[in-house]
Amino acid sequence: MSTAKNGSAQKFIIKGTPSYYQMKGEETGPFSYMTICLLGVTKNGKRVCNNNCIFCSNWERGRMRAGDSTLSKEDFSKIIPAFRKLGGKRIVTMGDGEPLYGENLDYMLEITKIAGEHGIGVTIFSNGRLLTKDILNSFDRLNDDVVFIININSLDKYTYEKTIRVPGSFEGVIENSRYWAERNARRIEITDHGIVSQFAITMVLSIANEGKIEDMKEFAEKCNAAFLCTSPMMTGSAEKNKSLIAPAIGDIRRLELLSQRWSTTKGPSSRNLCGTCGYIGGYASGKKLSAEPGGITFDLYGNARPCGYLLEGLEFNIRNNVKTVSNAVDALKKMNEIEDKILKDIYEKFGFGPCLMRHEKLPEIEEYLQSLRA
């Protein structure tokens, strides 16, 4: 089926988001999400992304500290069951790396497999260039609840390749989209609340592509997918390329309003009822809202993080505390406690904001996190 004629005016609900669980009437809490963040560069300087997007928030700065090593399959065989014991619902990957690129692919397949064995869904943010029919099937065979959120910023070859800075890449991602549409058509669920989808097409808005939002929305419908558009996070490469993205005063605010108008989720789908990011903590203006969605965030190296995109991690590392599933339960509780405290401190010191990476005092927030590590 195609959603273009059968409900394009309906709201899309992306499976596994806070709004999805709210629709189902399921309770969510501080352990609903486990976010694993990928960063732009590994400890040895090797890129973990096959794009070099002008709007990337971490490409120019995402480096791990010397001596860091990634979490192992054995680590996750204890962390994921522990997460499930705490009421975990979903694993989310984000953070300016490409989950399907290089050694990340085997890593993600293993996480997806273990999650599936414990009844946990997985959401994967990707640029889609490597999401071929075979790779898509590989994930679906391991876990029947895998959501892909694919970033494509233009259907114009010149604009697309200028944006991601990889010549000759456009045709491949369009070819892959044919398989996405076939897969998604079998998985769409029509409900009284809207269309539940296991796939979304996203675009990061800028002055280069804001005039093509409707074209991208129609493309998403042909892929039987939800459509999201977001404002850029103005750090890293995005800050360096401000003249190409949002050079004028008021541009960011205009792009934010456009994103809320055009997204078929009728606004940001990953925020909880109090307006904060659903994937992190449940604090608003320093007050803990315990009934709100929230989660635990760490990077591939096990370092706790208050947000999957922030440059600086916290001192607590889960890898040192996962000898058994019971150890991992205690470690996840401790990590959540630390991250919630840091979030509360951030909101009290710098003011409330729905997204830390779009906070008007982001430089001060990152400086504060660096001081904590010091």
Tell me 211's DSSP state.
G
Q: Is residue 6 a part of any domain in this protein?
A: no
296 beta partners: 34
Q: What residues contact 367, with CB distance under 8 A and at least 6 apart? A: none
pLDDT of residue 311: 67
291 has a pLDDT exceeding 50: no
Closest CA to 314 of 243, 374, 364: 374
User: Which CATH number do you get for residue 44?
Assistant: 3.20.20.70
Q: Is residue 222 a part of any domain in this protein?
A: yes
Closest CA to 70 of 49, 43, 93, 91: 43
Residue found under tokens 């010149």: 158
Which of 16-20, 109-113, 272-276, 285-289 is modeled with the greatest confidence? 109-113
Domain of 216 in residue numbering reads as 12-373
Stated pTM of the model: 0.90
288 beta partners: 283
Share the mean pLDDT of the chain. 84
H helical segments located in the chain = 18-24, 73-85, 103-117, 133-142, 157-164, 170-185, 213-222, 236-240, 242-245, 251-262, 325-350, 362-373
Higher per-residue pLDDT: 280 or 113: 113
Whole-angstrom CA distances from 286 to 31, 32, 282, 308 are 19, 20, 9, 20
Q: Is residue 252 a part of any domain in this protein?
A: yes
Q: Is residue 131 a part of any domain in this protein?
A: yes
For 146, the enclosing helix (H) or strand (E) is: strand 146-151
The full length of the chain comes to: 374
35 beta partners: 92, 297
User: Are 197 and 225 contacting, i.e. CB atoms less than 8 angstroms apart?
Assistant: yes
Q: Is residue 145 a part of any domain in this protein?
A: yes
Number of domains making up the chain: 1
Whole-angstrom CA distances from 137 to 105, 182, 196, 283 are 13, 12, 20, 38
Side chain identity, residue 213: I
pLDDT of residue 68: 65
pLDDT band at 273 (very low <50, low <70, confident <90, very high): low
The Cα–Cα gap between 136 and 159 comes to 26
pLDDT of residue 39: 66
- Number of CB atoms found within 10 A of residue 254's CB: 15
373 has a pLDDT exceeding 80: no
Angle of helix 170-185 relative to helix 157-164, nearest 10 degrees? 100
User: Are 296 and 34 contacting, i.e. CB atoms less than 8 angstroms apart?
Assistant: yes
The Cα–Cα gap between 330 and 240 comes to 41
The Cα–Cα gap between 224 and 197 comes to 8
- Number of CB atoms found within 10 A of residue 358's CB: 19
279 has a pLDDT exceeding 80: no
pLDDT, one tens digit per residue, over 343-366 is: 888 888 998 777 888 888 988 998
Q: Is residue 2 a part of any domain in this protein?
A: no
pLDDT, one tens digit per residue, over 242-265 is: 999 999 989 998 998 888 888 888
Q: Is residue 299 a part of any domain in this protein?
A: yes
The Cα–Cα gap between 236 and 52 comes to 11
100 has a pLDDT exceeding 90: yes
pLDDT of residue 294: 62
Side chain identity, residue 342: I
pLDDT of residue 36: 87
Q: Is residue 127 a part of any domain in this protein?
A: yes
Mean pLDDT, residues 144-165 taken together: 94
